[in-house]
Every structure is written in C-alpha cells, then in structure tokens.
C-alpha cells in the first residue's frame, strides 16, 4: 500500500458506527490494567499498530492477556523486568507514558520506536522524571530514544510544566502514584484528561482543580477497569470535514467520546459555519454520544487558543480552511512541529502543492481559502497528514503517497472512505 488516488465525492448521507476506537483511551486501558488487583476488561480496544504495540509491551512486562477478539481481559502481578526491548513503534503516547510507568518499577527496561519516534523529543518527560530520582538515559543526554530506564525510588514533586501536553501530564501522574509523598502537576492550558478520569474511576486519589492536579501515592492496587472504548473523535473528524466540504452532504458519527478536551475541532468547524450537533448517550469514565455534521458554506476563522485540544485535528481542519471563504490563521501552535511529522511544514507544503496560498510562521500558518487543485502529496510518514489530504481529494481528486502510517491509528479508514468515493490503492 504505497499510494492512493482519490476521486472527488458526490453528495453523501451516512451513519458511521465503525470509526476507529479511541487511541488515547486504548493505550491507557492496557497500561493502567497493570496497576490493578484484578481482571480488567476492555471492549472495543483499538487494534491498530500503535496500541497493539502497547498491548505487546504489557505482555512483555508480565501481564496475562486473554483476548477473544471482542473483549481483552488483563491481569497482572505487578510489572516484571523484561527480557525484550520494548518497541513503541510510532507512538509518542506509548513511549512517554511507559517512561512514567516504568521509572519506579523494579528492573531495567529499554524503550525504542521506529525511525520517526526515535527522532522525537523525550526530554520533556525524562528531565522531570530524572529530577525526582528516576534513572533514565538515552541519546542526546536522554532526549532521544532508545531510552534505558532502571526503576528507582521517586521523590514527591510540585511540577509546573511549560507545555500543555497530556503525554507529559500522564507520564508524571503515573510516576506520582509511586512517589514518596503527595505530588502536584500544573499545566499552562488544560490538555486531554483521560488519565485523570480513568485512574479516578479505578479508585486512585487524584484531585483536579483547574490546571492543577494533586496526586496521592497509591496505598493499594486499583480496582480493575471495565471499559468499552468509545470511537476516536480525532479519527471521526476526517469524516466531519468530508461532510463539511461536500455540498448537501451529512454524516452521523456514532459512539464518539464527547470529552470537551477532545471535540474542540468540531467546535472550530462549527465556528466556520458547519452545521454540527451533539447527542449525549452515556457517561461512565467519559461522555459518549453521536455527532451530526451537515454541509454549509464555510468561512475563515482564527485559531489561537486551546491548541492542545486541536493538536491532532489541525491538519484536517486546515483542509476545511483551504475550502473556506477568507483568510484563516493558526497561531501558538509550535507543538505541531514535534508531532509524527513537522505538521506546520507538511500542512503548508501539501496545501501549496494543491494551489492554495499559505504563509508559514514559526508557530502556525495563514491559509487563504480558494479552489483546491488535484496534486501529489507525500504523508511524511504521518497518519494525520495522509488522511487529511485524502479527504482534500474528495473536493478535487488527489494522489497521496506513503500510506502505511494510517495503520497506526485508523486501519479501516479506506473501508469507510469507499462509502463516499472511489479510490485506487497501489
């Protein structure tokens, strides 16, 4: 699967119940099962490369996993030293959260990843962990994987993070559970909060007050998780953009998490003029429901706040901006440069090759909406870039190369896309 040629879409009206399960919640569900005293049960786990790597890693760390293809049952006797190198593949979430989980575990562990992950910054987690006593090293003074971790005693901390990152926050919360006293973690803007919700649901003593999270070390093992992973709003968003840019079309995205830290991109698309409504169906660890999206003519917007709530969706939102009337501006989004690709450069170059006027800045870009033209775009190994430009193809036709990365988060993406248009994969 090297390249896809996408044809423009005709009008569509769809209900989609098979959006990929949430990646963030899937990673956490298997990792947190290691902290419990019983059998955790996970339904609708995301069977994509990133999260299957996390599942494999917890098996290497001694978890017993029973999988009937529908429900995954996990029990653990605590983290065991692994004979294997722990390979997180393409996943920054996997690597950063495992750093927190393993920094106090008994034994020595090596975390590695693919060539993209081995180039992404890890100091944001290794530095605060080392400052509380963790023994971690890696290339560039602990900034780049492979990382070596020798479990150690961790000191309590009051950490003020400069980055609004759920990966950093989650890493430090996991470390805090085994520190020698009460810890606090403060972030500059609220990042996604699945870790806090899920660990609290399992009985951890965690209090959230605005941007400050207070974590009490674990006195006992946690109660097992019983969770059905909702659909991933970041994956669902590709089909929201598809409906928003295709005249007279609409889509209902079923069973998606409606966690406010995850649906900001839908709110941004609403601000652009799309007709969007939300239908809450249940609320256990997370609010879950359906999102209805209808086409309407789009206009430009400014995006400068809550960037961490948009970090995975900005590439797809940029396609909507390219189709909208006027000049859209994205600011304060420097974090985009250290995701699966430098997403500022990949978005800017991709849109420019589609004939769109885009200006690049250090922390974002300006897009002048007009008519997209068919082009050849390379994903740069970034799943969100690949899927965003494929969705752009629904407007004008497109050839997108380097597609394997889509399997990291949304293995059935093409199956769903075929409900809207014709594609040729080679």
Asked if residue 93 binds ligand S3P (CB under 6 A), the reply is yes
Angle between helix 314-323 and helix 233-245 axes, rounded to 10 deg? 10
Residue of 87, 232, 312, 378 marked active site: 312
How wide is the angle at C-alpha 104 spanned by C-alphas 103 and 109, nearest 5°?
A: 50
Active site residue 312: yes
Of 164, 179, 261, the residue nearest 215 (C-alpha): 179
The residue range among 164-172, 199-207, 215-223, 272-280 that interacts with ligand S3P, by the rule CB under 6 A, is 164-172
Asked if residue 311 binds ligand S3P (CB under 6 A), the reply is yes
Which listed residue (167, 261, 290, 408) binds ligand S3P by CB under 6 A? 167
Shortest Cβ distance from residue 162 to ligand S3P (Å)? 13
What CA–CA distances, in Å, run from 62 to 46, 48, 69, 74, 415? Answer: 21, 21, 20, 10, 35
The residue range among 166-174, 211-219, 260-268, 293-301 that interacts with ligand S3P, by the rule CB under 6 A, is 166-174
Which listed residue (82, 104, 126, 191) binds ligand S3P by CB under 6 A? 191
Shortest Cβ distance from residue 195 to ligand S3P (Å)? 7
Shortest Cβ distance from residue 92 to ligand S3P (Å)? 6
Beta-carbon count within 10 A of 128 CB: 21
| Residues 313-342 close enough to bind ligand S3P by CB under 6 A | 335
Q: How far apart are CA 357 and CA 424, in angstroms?
A: 28
Asked if residue 312 binds ligand S3P (CB under 6 A), the reply is yes
Q: Which is nearer to ligand S3P, 89 or 273 (CB)?
A: 89
Q: Which two tokens stand for residue 52?
A: 């299957």
Which listed residue (4, 16, 24, 231) binds ligand S3P by CB under 6 A? 24
Shortest Cβ distance from residue 72 to ligand S3P (Å)? 18
Q: Which residues are CB-neighbours of 418 under 8 A, at least 6 positions away?
A: none
Q: How far apart are CA 63 and CA 34, in angstroms?
A: 7
Asked if residue 198 binds ligand S3P (CB under 6 A), the reply is no
| Residues 170-189 close enough to bind ligand S3P by CB under 6 A | 170
How wide is the angle at C-alpha 46 spanned by C-alphas 150 and 120, nearest 5°?
A: 45
Burial, 245: exposed, middle or buried (Cβ in 10 Å; 0-12, 13-18, 19+)?
buried
Q: How far apart are CA 350 and CA 329, in angstroms?
A: 17
Shortest Cβ distance from residue 181 to ligand S3P (Å)? 25
Kindly list the catalytic residues: 312
Q: Which residues bind ligand S3P (CB under 6 A)?
A: 24, 93, 165-167, 170, 191-192, 308, 311-312, 335
């Amino acid at each position: 699967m090297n390249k896809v040629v996408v044809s423009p879409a005709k009008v569509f009206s769809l209900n989609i119940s098979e959006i990929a399960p949430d990646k963030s919640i899937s990673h956490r569900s298997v990792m947190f099962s290691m902290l419990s005293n019983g059998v955790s049960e996970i339904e609708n786990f995301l069977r994509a490369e990133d999260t299957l790597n996390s599942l494999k890693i917890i098996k290497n760390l001694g978890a017993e996993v029973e999988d009937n293809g529908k429900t995954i049952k996990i029990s653990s006797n605590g983290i065991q030293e692994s004979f294997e190198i722990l390979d997180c593949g393409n996943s920054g979430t996997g690597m950063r959260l495992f750093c927190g989980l393993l920094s106090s575990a008994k034994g020595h562990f090596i975390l590695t990843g693919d060539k993209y992950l081995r180039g992404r910054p890890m100091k944001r987690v290794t530095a605060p962990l080392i400052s509380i006593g963790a023994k971690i090293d890696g290339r560039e003074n602990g900034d780049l994987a492979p990382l070596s971790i020798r479990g150690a005693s961790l000191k309590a901390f009051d950490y003020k993070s400069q980055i609004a990152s759920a990966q950093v926050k989650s890493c430090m919360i996991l470390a805090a559970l085994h520190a020698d006293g009460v810890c606090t973690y403060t972030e500059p803007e609220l990042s996604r909060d699945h870790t806090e919700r899920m660990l609290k649901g399992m009985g951890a003593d965690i209090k959230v007050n605005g941007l400050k999270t207070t974590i009490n070390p674990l006195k006992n093992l946690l109660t097992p998780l019983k969770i059905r992973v909702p659909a991933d709003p970041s994956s669902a968003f590709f089909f929201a953009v598809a409906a928003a840019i295709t005249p007279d079309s609409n889509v209902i995205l079923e069973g998606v998490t409606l966690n406010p830290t995850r649906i900001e991109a839908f709110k941004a698309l609403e601000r652009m003029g799309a007709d969007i409504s939300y239908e809450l169906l249940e609320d256990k660890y997370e609010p879950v429901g359906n999102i209805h999206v209808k086409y309407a003519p789009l206009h430009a917007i400014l995006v400068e706040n809550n960037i961490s709530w948009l970090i995975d969706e900005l590439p797809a939102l940029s396609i909507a901006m390219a189709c909208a009337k006027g000049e859209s501006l994205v600011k304060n989004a420097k974090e985009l440069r250290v995701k699966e690709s430098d997403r500022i450069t990949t978005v800017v170059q991709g849109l420019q090759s589609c004939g769109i006027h885009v200006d690049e800045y250090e922390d974002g870009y300006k897009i002048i909406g007009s008519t997209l033209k068919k082009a050849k775009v390379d994903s740069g190994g970034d799943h969100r870039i690949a899927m965003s430009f494929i969705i752009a193809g629904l407007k004008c036709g497109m050839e997108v190369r380097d597609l394997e990365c889509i399997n990291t988060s949304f293995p059935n993406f093409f199956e769903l896309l075929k409900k809207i248009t014709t594609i040729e994969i080679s």
